[in-house]
Each structure stands twice: as C-alpha cells, then as structure tokens.
A and B are shown apart, each in its own frame.
Chain A
C-alpha cells in the first residue's frame, strides 16, 4: 500500500529520482529528498522504532529533530535520526535497541511489567550485594538503551573550522528570513542556519491552506537570493558559549562561529498532549502530519482525529481534509472552541467539532492506532471518562500548544518568564547582542513574525552601530493563547507518556513528588525527564506544568531546568575533528631519520633517543654511544635547548635577580652555570649564562622549561622596570654538542676560533665561524668530556652538522642520542631539572647549594630559602651504586627507598649499565642516609628488596680533568 499523495508544489522529494534502500533487512524505495521515515511511511510502515525502556512500538511523532522515536544505525554510524536522515543508495539501516529485530523484538513485552519498574527502580532494587551492581548494570544497559557503537567502524576524518559573521540568524522561517534580509540590507554579514534540510520553516508546511503564505515564502526567498544570503540548511546551532561563540554542526563538520550578534528565530516545538497510549504509532503532532503531507507527499493516515487547542490545529485539520484524509473529529480542549473563522471553515468541510473534549485514550493493535476515545473535559481540566465517544480511526494528530525553541537563548544567558497570554515561557531579559524573534518570542501571527524578525535585525544593527534609526517596539501576540495550560490527563492504566525518550509517564511524576523530589532540577534527575536524546524538547514544558500542579505553584515559581550545550546530539567524529598536535623538530631532524634514530618526545620536541642498528638492543646501543663519547668523539643534537638573548643596560641586573648565582663579575667570553627558582625557592630551571659583550648575554635553558622561564623574565622585567631586551631565540638558533677526547681535533678544521686550552678554556664562550657559518661556541662539561656546544642559525644547522660529521669521520665520530647523554651526565652526577627534581625540590635538597650566590642582595626565591635553611632538611639527593658484579634485580626510576618499613625516598635517575661499570643512579634519601657508604634498601616493582650503597658523586672523573683539557 502506498500513502503517496499526488505531486504538489514545494515538496522536497524529486519523484523522477527513485532511491532504493534497506531497513530491517527489507528493501524499500523512495525518492531523492525523502528521509528514512518519510520513505518508510509512504510504504505504510508505521512501526519504525522501539522505546528506550519498555520497547514499545514507536512511529512518526514530530518528523523533525524533536523526538527520538526513529533511531537507526548502520555498520558505520548509530543513533541516526530517521526523521531527518536522507535515504541514499546502498543505505542499509536497522532500528536501534532491539533484540531480534524491530517487529519481533524479544523485549517487546517488557511494558507488561511496567508497574514493577517505576523510575529509579534499579537503584532501589539492585544496590545489594554491592559487588553485583556492575552485573546488574550491564544487563540493564542491554535491555534499555540506544544504539551500540561498532568499534570496528572505519574512522572518518572530519575538519573543524571557524567562521565569523555580524549576525547569526538561527531559523529560516518567516521571522528568521525577515531578520536576515533586514540585517543584510543594513550591510551586516549574515549567516542563517536551519537544522532542517529546507528553508522557510513552518511556511513550507503549516500554512498550506493560506495562499498568501506561499507568496510570502516566495518573496522572502527571492529577496534572500538577491542579497546572496549565506543560508545553511541541515545545520544546527548546537551550543552557545561565551562571547557568542556558537557551535554549528552540519553533516561534515563542527564550525566554531564567532557571531557579533545572535538573532534566535528558531521557532517553537509543537507539544504533545498527555493521554493513555499517546505514543502508539499513528499518534503524532499535527505539524508532523503536515510535514508528511507537504514536504514528502505522504498521507499520514486514512481516517483520523485531531486534538486541538489552537487555530493551528484547525489549519491542520483542514489540511488533512484537503489531502483526502477523513477527519472524523476535532476534539477541542477549549470549552468555547476556536474563536476565528477557522472553526466555521472546518464545519463547512464537514468535520465534526467536539468543544471542551479531549482524546482520553487511544486503542492500538499491532502497533497501529485503531480507535480514539473522546471525553468531555470538566471545569477542573479532568477528563470525564464516564461519557466516552469512541471513534474508529488509524491516526490522531495533536495540536495543543508550543514551547519555545529557546535553548540557545538560555545558553546565552537570557532570562525567561512565563506569559499566560501565550501560555509559554518568553525571553524577558536578553544579554547584549542577543535578540529573539518569532514564535520563540511569543509571536505567532505570520505577518507579525516577519515584523518581529525585521525588528530584531534593526536592533542587532543598532547594537553594532550600523543603524541609527528607530527600532520598533517588540511585537505582542494578539488573540487566544496558542498553547493550552494543561493538556495532560490522568488515566488509571497509565501509559500516558510525558517523555517518550525515557518512557516516563504521568504517574512517575506523582511518585517522584511523593518521594520528595519536588523541585524541577531534582525531578529531572530522579525521573530522567528531559535527559534523553531530545533533551526534553517535547517533555520539559509538560513536566513543568505537571510539577507546578502537583506542588500547587505557579509555572514561574516552578521554573525550568538548565539548558546546556549541546542542544542536539553531535557525532563524536565532529567533536574529535581534525586534531592539531603541534610539535617541533630541529633542523637536523631529517638527518636523524636517515640515520635510523629512534625518537622520543621531550616537551613538544622530537629528539633522537638513540640510533638503531640491526641486531642490537636499545640498551646496548645507548651504552655503546656513551662509551664512544668517553673514548673518541660523539655529536649530539642539542637544538632543543632553550636559548634566550639578554641585552641592554640592565641585562646583568636581570640575570642577577632571575638566577641564584652571581653574574656581575662574569667576564666577557666566559660562561657560568645558572639556576632559577620560583618564589617559594623551588628549582624551576637551569642552564648556562654566556657573556658575549659588555651588555649582551646568551643564556641557555632547559628544553621544556624555557617558555615558562621566558614569560617570567618578561613579566619581571616590566615589574622591575629594567632597561633590558629579552628575546627567546630557541627556534632561531640550533645547537649541537661535539664531545669526547677528539672533539677539538674535529672542530679545529672547521672554525676560525682558537680552540687551544689557553685560547678557549673550559667554561669559555666564543663567537666565530664553523663551516663558514656564524656560530657561538660554548665549552661545556655536561657529559664530562672535552666538548663544545656549537650554536648556529637554524637554517644553517644541517650544513654545520653535516660538516662536523664529515670532518669527524676520520676520527670515528658518531652521533649519540638523549639516552646516552642522560647516562653520561648521570655518571658526572649532574642533575636534570624535573627528572631529578620535582615541584617541591629546593637547591639544598638537590645538592646544588654551591650555585647560590652568598652575598647577593636579591634573587627570586632567596627569602624562601632563608626560611628553608632554618628548617630541618627532610631529604637529600644522593648518588648510589650497586656493587661491581651485582647480578640481582635493578630498580626503575621512582622505585622507593625503604628504611625499617618506612618510605624514606625514591630513585630519580638510574643507569642499569654505565661506562664506569656498576649500575648507578641518583635518589632522594633521608639526610641521615645520605653519607657515602650508607646502605639503602630499594623496593622493586616486583616487591623484591635490593640493596645499594650511597656513593659520592661524580661517579666519573671526580676532578673534572677530562672536560677541562
């Protein structure tokens, strides 16, 4: 059977382009432009989904984003809304949350036990024994739920983008288009978004029997086209954040839109009435019936009843009648019925009107409506079940009221109050730059909506100082309220659903209030109303009305829940988007790659950890690289080191205050170790200060600490009002350290600098050329061998590196990585900040008290250290070693030092193999344990205890003779 109507103007489908797809294993056909729901409904498929908890049959309800009855999944995606997902060739979907298929869902009888499963029953029933709760939870989740993620689904890369506009207009209905046109004519850059796949909003389907509406839509579209308006359909404004950052979601990506003004003309959600079996497929919102007819050319039912409480319901009844539907009755909740001529038009069409009546219950068989029972509504709003009118029908349409689509406004900070004139929450106070228009603003008349849109646009233009004329006053709704104050009816059998997402019916609210959950936020958590996929678009308003009645408060006193982004579900792939992970590489990175370097991430830098060789282990290679430096010559990339230029009249003052050491007496051409503390005396960085000229210094800092240090220096320079220039040149210069007994010979052939021990002694700095490139050379001893750090402009780094490797070939030069360097410095007892220190380590504990200037008037952290000195030391960094030939288990970094069952310290650095023989390392120990020769017990990861001895550092070349050559 086909429910397709004859072709009509304005429908979204292209009847010349049939499309085949599969649903629940069966093939169906539709037309290009059909949604899954509309295409299935055209084939009279009414059962389109199962409910969350009771697995009740569900069908068309809003045919928009407003309900989650039709949720489908395919191999790649889940929880797709069938109402708005277009059909496409090869689409093969099934309903979510079924066991054994949609029709034969094994859990379809769950509802029979609904009295045993009120809201929150599982918290009450399954809390003991506690250890079984995970089991209970997993089983409940299998029964009640949504779609399942397929972990084997192929990852889909989605971009993320920014966008900008003067005015974002949300909604392309009459108010939205009028606002966008007015704003664009005022010269504003306008973007219009609409979550539906068409522009025009309700003008496309709700005003079919008003010929002027069609002309209005055509005019609006013509003007929009003439202005070349940027209108984005199928695009949701899913969240509003500070400074009017709006998250826009379309099928491809997340756009972070910065709007100078926001005009919300998003309309209103038609609200359902609450009566027994108000969820049986065939019961739907009147606007859904109109969408089916006017957008997709599908007849909603053959014979139906219309439950109305406003003129929109009568318009829908006339529309249905015009489409050939036998409208068996209009049940009007209002005792006096419709005050406009729509009532007469309905009567003229032969539609029986029952004023002061409601649909009390619906009978359903096989997942379809079979009849509706109408009852009179008494003065208290109760349905009089004693006098029922039974009408055989296969559909019921509801048009009893509206709730504003105000999520974005709430998120933007708008304050809403309830207006009895429209029986709706209306924005009362809007934040600067935010405007509302149309139904969301309580304006329902078609032409008034457009006036309101234009007014909002003028207000936005005036806010942006792009319009200086008068802004008309806000448009007020005239006539009867478009919403009924309480379209909710008790039924002894329940199943009068308030929230279809979560299967919450009226009695759940009564129970919740009886249990003390009598606040809107509490009742939301307890009943989960509004917490489902639609976030209460069709349930929150009724929930507020119910709670207000139960607690005998006004609607305003009851209030609303908090609206938080996202307003619609957003695919996780959109949130992930294109991920940016900035990282840095040195100019020699490609050379390292070709030399089989294994990289490690240090801060944001990729550094060679070691250079791989076939058949050799990482540990072997690291030790071999270290030995090569000790015995011959090695070259390491230290381009990642922080580098700061300090110059100007107060440069030395800057250094004196930043670092603990003394630099006033540092001679030009010399370097000195520098240690930086924070205000509490904790070590934050170290490096070398090199004096290049009278007021010119070149300072190195740690790879990961330089950015923080530099920011602090800049801040302090301003606070101290120093005449100093500071430049972070970390990326502008690269560095390499040539180290080992033969380093001088290798370097000598490439530089014009006198490398002799006298001409360029240990801790000296020179400027000259290396391989024809201007260079800064520093004689340093970090690895404990004769060595030179060569710093050159980054673009020349590779050339200099290659020249050194070439010149060193005759001496057997080899590159070494970070791990070999860590071993070599450990053998010298040199600490690495952050590795051997932590967020509380002061220089006294770390054994670098020698780096503190004794008679300095001030440096950062000095006063804190004065206090620290007066306190008892609780730990001390000390060297330890295992005996030669030790063959037992060895600790890892962070393994604990234990003394008489108590933790007294931890390993900070460990070398399991070293060039000096035994395993050795650094550890924090109690001060009483820090004397050389003291045994320390170390607990391994396995729990085994091993013993090492404290030894004096350096472990290697304690006289520092090798590096001073």
Chain B
C-alpha cells in the first residue's frame, strides 16, 4: 500500500494484531485483536486512533462565505459544530476560522481541499491533528484522571478546548455506535505522548485499544 502519510501513533499500533484499512494514503487500524475481546473492550473502555481522517482548515473574512458556496453547513456559535455530508464535522474555531474533518467516507474534505486556493481574505490552513476516539462505560473515569473539565456535563454540539494530560486539546463529545464517545484532537507532535498516557490510564481501568471499525462500521478492510 502507498502510505505517504502516517498517524503519529502508527508505531504503537503496528505492534498489535491489527487489521489495516486505508483512508486516502494513510493507514488506519480497523480492528485490533480478536473480535470478541475488542467488542468487550469497546464497551468497557476504548481508545482508538482515527488520525487518518482527512482534515482541513480555513481562515479569513471570506472563509464562511466560501463554505456556504460549497453548501457546507456552517456552525454559527463559537466552537459550535455541524455535521458534514460524509459523517465528518466542521467546527467554528474562531470568528473567521474553521476546522473540518471528514468522516470515514473521506469525501467532503478532500473535495473541498481540491477546490480551495489561497486568495485575499481566504487562507487554507494545513491541519495535521491526531484524532483519538475514547468511549466506553468507564470513559468518564479515564477522562477525570486527565482533564480538569467536567466533560460528562458538556453538550454534544460544541467543542471544548482544554488540556488533557497537560497537553492542549480540542474535545468533541458525541454519540458514536450508540455509545457516548469523545473525539480528542491533539497536535501531531504531542500525539505520541498523549496516546501513551491515555493508554496507561485506560489500561489501569481495564480498557484498551480498539480499531476504528468499532466506531465506523462502514470502514472495510483494504
């Protein structure tokens, strides 16, 4: 497979019994270990790497108008979130700045990226954030050990900017596969550290690593 891009935690996953898939040119772990065990982990406490999901940033006074022309639903509130057609999300991260991440179909962001050019008032931003998904019955306990925000009481349509294990992150509470889940975006270069910390804590709480297939049933083995 052509893997020009890689998740920052790829090296952690490649040591495991992983079934790989690919989004764009980036590998993604679809399953980790035996199915029964993975399902059990998923229900109890799960950590998943979804960094392969394509991302894009836009900034500038013309960004919102450009998105509307592309028929992208634009969240009005600061840190508000709207769903993209491919299952992804768009976040208003500042008054004139947006962050987009495609869903597993990986259609919307690549299509927008192909159209988006720099022009006065509209600037394309490279986004390389790692995306981690955490969920399960004990997810709040795991997050309470890392984060000083009461995530259990946050709404589902807004991103929270906070620190997780001492690192600046954006967190989106959401329902995935009928479970309360949290999507954590973190700087690519802090991702390795954060993954290790989250994994240690989750391991102590009886959790573990699962593949993205647990969250996105439509992802298929390549």
A residues lining the B interface (CB < 8 Å): 159-164, 256, 258, 578, 580-587, 589-590, 605, 639, 645, 647-649, 693, 695-696, 725, 727, 729-734, 771-773, 793-796, 798-799
Q: Is the CB of A580 within 8 A of B197?
A: yes
Extra inter-chain contacts (13) besides given A160-B145, A584-B190, CB under 8 Å? A159-B201, A578-B200, A585-B189, A639-B189, A731-B188, A733-B126, A733-B128, A734-B189, A793-B126, A794-B8, A795-B5, A795-B188, A799-B6
A649 partner residues in chain B, CB cutoff 8 A = 120
For the complex of A and B, the 3 pairs showing the least CB-CB separation, nearest first, are: A164-B150, A731-B187, A795-B5
Q: How far is the CB of A737 from chain B (nearest CB, A)?
A: 17
A164 partner residues in chain B, CB cutoff 8 A = 150, 152-153
> Given the complex of chains A and B, what is the CA–CA distance between A582 and B146 in angstroms?
12
> Given the complex of chains A and B, what is the CA–CA distance between A580 and B168 in angstroms?
13
> Given the complex of chains A and B, what is the CA–CA distance between A724 and B86 in angstroms?
32
Q: Is the CB of B192 within 8 A of A159?
A: no
> Given the complex of chains A and B, what is the CA–CA distance between A235 and B30 in angstroms?
42
Q: Is the CB of B189 within 8 A of A693?
A: no
B11 partner residues in chain A, CB cutoff 8 A = 590
Convert B187-218 into 0s and 1s, putting 1 for each residue whose CB lies closer than 8 angstroms to a CB of A: 11110111001001100100000000000000
A725 partner residues in chain B, CB cutoff 8 A = 59-60, 123
Q: Is the CB of A795 within 8 A of B128?
A: yes
Closest to B127 in A: A732
Q: Is the CB of B126 within 8 A of A796?
A: no
Q: Is the CB of A795 within 8 A of B167?
A: no
Closest to A581 in B: B166
> Given the complex of chains A and B, what is the CA–CA distance between A587 and B3 in angstroms?
14
Q: Would you list 10 pairs from A and B whose C-beta atoms are within 8 A, ordered by A residue?
A: A580-B197, A584-B190, A587-B189, A589-B192, A639-B189, A647-B123, A693-B118, A725-B123, A730-B189, A772-B4
Number of A-B contacts (CB under 8 A): 113
In the complex, whether B74 has a CB less than 8 A from a CB of chain A is: no
In the complex, whether B67 has a CB less than 8 A from a CB of chain A is: no
A581 partner residues in chain B, CB cutoff 8 A = 166
> Given the complex of chains A and B, what is the CA–CA distance between A161 and B148 in angstroms?
8
> Given the complex of chains A and B, what is the CA–CA distance between A645 and B197 in angstroms?
31
Closest to A605 in B: B189
Q: A582-B165, A725-B60, A795-B26 known; A587 and B148 CB under 8 Å? A: no
> Given the complex of chains A and B, what is the CA–CA distance between A648 and B144 in angstroms?
41
> Given the complex of chains A and B, what is the CA–CA distance between A160 and B11 in angstroms?
28
In the complex, whether B7 has a CB less than 8 A from a CB of chain A is: yes
Q: Is the CB of A796 within 8 A of B189?
A: no
Q: Is the CB of B204 within 8 A of A159?
A: yes
Closest to A253 in B: B145
Convert B61-92 into 0s and 1s, putting 1 for each residue whose CB lies closer than 8 angstroms to a CB of A: 00000000000000000000000000000000
Q: Is the CB of B59 within 8 A of A731?
A: no
> Given the complex of chains A and B, what is the CA–CA distance between A773 and B3 in angstroms?
11
In the complex, whether B39 has a CB less than 8 A from a CB of chain A is: no
> Given the complex of chains A and B, what is the CA–CA distance between A231 and B30 in angstroms?
41
Contact residues of A: prevailing secondary structure: mixed
B residues lining the A interface (CB < 8 Å): 3-8, 11, 26, 51, 57, 59-60, 118, 120, 123, 125-128, 141, 144-150, 152-153, 165-167, 187-190, 192-194, 197, 200-201, 204
Q: Is the CB of A794 within 8 A of B167?
A: no
Q: Is the CB of A582 within 8 A of B201?
A: no
Q: Is the CB of B125 within 8 A of A727?
A: yes
A773 partner residues in chain B, CB cutoff 8 A = 4
Q: How far is the CB of B159 from chain A (nearest CB, A)?
A: 17
Q: Is the CB of A578 within 8 A of B201?
A: yes
Q: How far is the CB of A372 from chain B (nearest CB, A)?
A: 52
Closest to A649 in B: B120
B165 partner residues in chain A, CB cutoff 8 A = 580, 582
Q: Is the CB of B118 within 8 A of A731?
A: no
Q: How far is the CB of A254 from chain B (nearest CB, A)?
A: 11
Q: Is the CB of A580 within 8 A of B188?
A: no
Closest to A803 in B: B4
A645 partner residues in chain B, CB cutoff 8 A = 123, 125
Q: Is the CB of A585 within 8 A of B166?
A: no
Q: A731-B190, A795-B26, A799-B3 known; A587 and B59 CB under 8 Å? A: no
Q: Is the CB of A587 within 8 A of B6?
A: yes
Q: Is the CB of A582 within 8 A of B190?
A: yes
> Given the complex of chains A and B, what is the CA–CA distance between A799 and B1 in angstroms?
13
Q: How far is the CB of B186 from chain A (nearest CB, A)?
A: 9
> Given the complex of chains A and B, what is the CA–CA distance between A799 and B6 in angstroms?
8
> Given the complex of chains A and B, what is the CA–CA distance between A589 and B192 in angstroms?
10
Q: How far is the CB of A669 from chain B (nearest CB, A)?
A: 15
> Given the complex of chains A and B, what is the CA–CA distance between A696 and B124 in angstroms?
11
Most B Cβ at <10 Å: residue of A580, A589, A648, A771: A580
Q: Is the CB of B126 within 8 A of A731?
A: no
Closest to B61 in A: A723
A590 partner residues in chain B, CB cutoff 8 A = 11
Q: Is the CB of A587 within 8 A of B150?
A: no
A693 partner residues in chain B, CB cutoff 8 A = 118
Q: Is the CB of A799 within 8 A of B5?
A: yes
> Given the complex of chains A and B, what is the CA–CA distance between A163 and B147 in angstroms?
9
B118 partner residues in chain A, CB cutoff 8 A = 647, 693, 696
Q: How far is the CB of A498 from chain B (nearest CB, A)?
A: 42
Closest to A189 in B: B153
B126 partner residues in chain A, CB cutoff 8 A = 729, 732-733, 793
Q: Is the CB of A582 within 8 A of B150?
A: no
A799 partner residues in chain B, CB cutoff 8 A = 3-6
A730 partner residues in chain B, CB cutoff 8 A = 189
B153 partner residues in chain A, CB cutoff 8 A = 164
Q: Is the CB of B166 within 8 A of A732?
A: no
Most A Cβ at <10 Å: residue of B188, B201, B204: B188
B150 partner residues in chain A, CB cutoff 8 A = 162, 164, 258
Closest to B12 in A: A590
Q: Is the CB of B8 within 8 A of A161?
A: no
Closest to B5 in A: A795
Most A Cβ at <10 Å: residue of B7, B193, B204: B193
The 8 Å CB contact of A648, one of B60, B148, B204, is B60
Q: How far is the CB of A169 from chain B (nearest CB, A)?
A: 18
The 8 Å CB contact of B193, one of A160, A161, A583, is A583
> Given the complex of chains A and B, what is the CA–CA distance between A798 and B51 in angstroms?
15
> Given the complex of chains A and B, what is the CA–CA distance between A608 and B87 in angstroms?
40
Q: Is the CB of A256 within 8 A of B145?
A: no
Closest to A580 in B: B166
A162 partner residues in chain B, CB cutoff 8 A = 144-145, 147-150
B146 partner residues in chain A, CB cutoff 8 A = 580
A796 partner residues in chain B, CB cutoff 8 A = 4-6
B120 partner residues in chain A, CB cutoff 8 A = 649, 695
Q: Is the CB of A161 within 8 A of B6?
A: no
The 8 Å CB contact of A732, one of B128, B147, B192, B201, is B128
Q: How far is the CB of A59 from chain B (nearest CB, A)?
A: 40
Closest to B59 in A: A725
Closest to B149 in A: A162
Q: How far is the CB of B77 from chain A (nearest CB, A)?
A: 21
Closest to B205 in A: A159
Q: How far is the CB of B9 from chain A (nearest CB, A)?
A: 10
> Given the complex of chains A and B, what is the CA–CA distance between A164 and B26 in angstroms?
39
A582 partner residues in chain B, CB cutoff 8 A = 165-167, 190, 193-194
> Given the complex of chains A and B, what is the CA–CA distance between A503 and B147 in angstroms?
44
B152 partner residues in chain A, CB cutoff 8 A = 164
Q: Is the CB of A163 within 8 A of B127?
A: no
B167 partner residues in chain A, CB cutoff 8 A = 582
> Given the complex of chains A and B, what is the CA–CA distance between A528 and B145 in angstroms?
38
> Given the complex of chains A and B, what is the CA–CA distance between A647 and B125 in angstroms?
11
A578 partner residues in chain B, CB cutoff 8 A = 145, 200-201
B147 partner residues in chain A, CB cutoff 8 A = 162
Q: Is the CB of B5 within 8 A of A586?
A: no
Q: How far is the CB of A694 from chain B (nearest CB, A)?
A: 8
> Given the complex of chains A and B, what is the CA–CA distance between A771 and B120 in angstroms?
30
> Given the complex of chains A and B, what is the CA–CA distance between A403 and B132 in angstroms?
52
B4 partner residues in chain A, CB cutoff 8 A = 771-773, 796, 799
Q: Is the CB of B193 within 8 A of A584?
A: yes
A258 partner residues in chain B, CB cutoff 8 A = 148, 150
